[in-house]
Structure 1
Amino acid sequence: MRAAVFVFLALSLICAPQAGKAHALDPGYLDLRQLAHGTWQVLWRVPDVKGQPMNIGAVLPEHCKPGRSPEPTSEGAAWVSTWVAECDAEIAGQTVTIDGLERQKNEVLLRLQPLNSETVTLRFTPKSPVLTIPVNPSTWTVLVSYFQLGFEHILAGWDHLLFVVALFVLVRDPWRLVGAVTAFTVAHSITLAMATLGILNVPAAPVEAIIALSIVFLALEILKHKKGKLRLSEQYPWIVCFCFGLLHGLGFAGALSEIGLPPQDIPTALLAFNVGVEGGQLAFIGTLSLLILTWRTVAPPIAAQFHSIAALVAGYAIGCVSVYWLVERISGF
């Protein structure tokens, strides 16, 4: 009984306060750009929480004045403040703190752009709200930071996860499913790179609506399934996933463009982000498979009895959530 778990997942999406938003756990962003010796331009971006800036603050090294961010101004989905800090000494080897991050679920990315050395990308987490700026930065820090960002971004994107859940219901063969998810990743990697680099520019609102529509399509495929007669998404899952992956990549690009890419390591950051997304998708599929295996092992009679209606119930649950998102996003144009 593959779809029992999906029903509860879909219903939880309806009740989740962030269900209408694709990326409710967007990270914060701190950019330090050196203008001259001892002078730094600071950009501090804080996620929006119910119309107010998240209760976190950037704290620069002690010898930098001002060391804290001024009151931010709203830019819709985030709050932004900028200022110029004067530092009496080098900040390499010093600590930067995100005050209050330990009480949040979000993360914060730091991009450090010195005049005479490589750009550094660091990642603050609730467990690591204080970081030391490396004296000799390496490309490895970019790889790790953006891989983790991609991995966690897919797990926080409810609409992308529901798309994977619908695929899981439709495609029963494990290798075909992995192939379909990989085709999805290849496709969104293309549009993500094009949009992030400015080659392709599409408004975010229609993209988010079409992403919801892609989930509606898969829900209909589940509901119209007939034994012995394969639907389009079951016959050619990799083609369907590739086409929809092009759209989902534009959705990923919206979040990544707000975070920014290190100018010196754009290819590395894009690669790491995409590999992280693929890793997150495969980890999610593995978790679902383990849950279903456990269900079948612990309660085989119940699982067998529920099998006949499971896909139908899952299809309606996924359809209801995706239609709700579609209407909400269209109404927000």
Structure 2
Amino acid sequence: MMWRRCLNGLLMGLALLAGTASAHEMSMAEMQLREMAPGEFLWQWMAGEKGGVADVLKPIWPEGCQVDLNVLHCGKSGMRGTLSIDGVGKTYSAALVKVFWLDGQTRVYTLTAGQPTVHLYGSAEDRRGMGEIATAYVALGVEHILGGIDHLLFVIGLLFLVGFNRRLLWTITAFTAAHSLTLAASALDFLALRPPPVEAAIALSIVLVAVEALHSKQTLAKRWPALVAFLFGLVHGLGFAGALKEIGLPESHMLVALLTFNVGVEIGQLMTVAAAWALWRAVSRWPSVSLARTAALYGIGTMAAFWAWSRVAAIFI
């Protein structure tokens, strides 16, 4: 029957995700440039998450700069002009360029597929425009939420818990408000927690929501879903902050970058809700939709339980 084939496909997909998904995988590559003398830089790719960075990413240096193996010669005028990374957005979703200037200052630039170039001014001064930074960080926020399988499963779990009704608006709003608070507090160094406990708590939050959604009785989570979303949203915000710290915040327009990254996260979250609503409209009239719902919740809970065990173990390793 059609519903059985769909159900089997769903379970197989969840099993594959459980085996291959990695939370908050941004596939970041990192390049470091260290100015050793005026206009002379040592540069190298650091170990990327997927390896083989030099094979897939090619730096295009500012005009007037010449490279000799791992030495970049830019002359007396310094490293001025446009720096590009060819290939960013394919194997690697973003590239971090860390420049250690001769005067001791450091700057971090984030290049993405949507913004694969950055303008350098020969010193630590960062003159990137507000619009340029906003565009880059919105794109990174969208990519992070869509690539963060655990965050998506928590949002989907909330949808199963609440359903598509008026309470969903308050529930999603509470989740957004909570993770925005802890994202900002952590990114601005007002709050600091070790990543392993945060990741374990995120996985456990998914387990709880899945279990609560399976209950037929009126549980606390079903009576007050916005409260549950807010409390767990505080933890998920710390997860978002961990990814943002890996990317880095520009010293100029730091608040703009923080705000637009959060906006990108919300855009990705709304895209998920919209896709789920469209799927629900398509299958809501199926006679066996309740069986598919139960199977999906068991799949989500099982996957999250596996993550929880592995992440709790990582705390003590």
Taking structure 2 as the reference length, what is the TM-score of the superposition?
Answer: 0.80
Asked if the contact 2:180/2:262 (under 8 Å) is kept, the reply is yes
Q: Give secondary structure in 2 for the equivalent of 1:96.
A: strand
Q: CA deviation at 1:191?
A: 1.4
Aligned to 1:106: 93
Structure 1: distance between partners of 2:183 and 2:290: 39
Spell out, residue by residue over 1:175-220, the C-alpha distance to the aligned partner (whole angstroms, 9 max, x if none): 4223322221221122122222222221111111111000010011
Aligned to 2:255: 267
Asked if the contact 1:191/1:247 (under 8 Å) is kept, the reply is yes
Matched residue count: 299
Structure 1: distance between partners of 2:300 and 2:145: 18
Structure 1: distance between partners of 2:197 and 2:158: 23
Structure 1: distance between partners of 2:145 and 2:302: 21
Aligned to 2:59: 59
Structure 1: distance between partners of 2:172 and 2:243: 20
**One-letter code of the match for 1:262?**
P
Structure 2: distance between partners of 1:21 and 1:58: 26
Aligned to 1:249: 237
Asked if the contact 1:5/1:292 (under 8 Å) is kept, the reply is no
Q: CA deviation at 1:246?
A: 0.8
Residue of 309, 313, 320 corresponding to 2:295:
313
Structure 1: distance between partners of 2:171 and 2:8: 22
**One-letter code of the match for 1:269?**
A
Structure 1: distance between partners of 2:44 and 2:184: 24
Q: Give secondary structure in 1 for the equivalent of 2:175.
A: helix
- Structure 1 alignment gaps of length 5 or more: 71-83
Structure 1: distance between partners of 2:84 and 2:23: 30
Call closer, same or farther: CA 1:276–1:254 in 2, change over 3 Å. same
**One-letter code of the match for 1:106?**
S
Call closer, same or farther: CA 1:171–1:40 in 2, change over 3 Å. farther
Structure 2: distance between partners of 1:174 and 1:40: 58
Q: Give secondary structure in 1 for the equivalent of 2:227.
A: helix
Call closer, same or farther: CA 1:29–1:232 in 2, change over 3 Å. farther
Structure 2: distance between partners of 1:199 and 1:132: 29
Asked if the contact 1:212/1:325 (under 8 Å) is kept, the reply is yes
Q: CA deviation at 1:96?
A: 2.1
Asked if the contact 2:25/2:144 (under 8 Å) is kept, the reply is no
CA RMSD of aligned residues (A): 3.3
| Identity score, percent | 35
Aligned to 1:131: 117
Aligned to 2:269: 281
1:230-245 map, 5 Å: 230-245=218-233
Q: Give secondary structure in 1 for the equivalent of 2:163.
A: coil
Spell out, residue by residue over 1:200-258, the C-alpha distance to the aligned partner (whole angstroms, 9 max, x if none): 221111111111000010011012233xxx32222222211111011111111111111
Q: Give secondary structure in 2 for the equivalent of 1:22.
A: coil
Structure 2: distance between partners of 1:23 and 1:44: 22
Asked if the contact 1:20/1:328 (under 8 Å) is kept, the reply is no
Residue of 201, 204, 207 corresponding to 1:213:
204
Deviates more, 1:268-277 or 1:32-41: 32-41
Structure 2: distance between partners of 1:208 and 1:192: 14
**One-letter code of the match for 1:216?**
V
Aligned to 1:325: 307
Aligned to 1:80: none
Q: Give secondary structure in 1 for the equivalent of 2:49.
A: strand
Q: CA deviation at 1:154?
A: 0.2
Aligned to 2:124: none
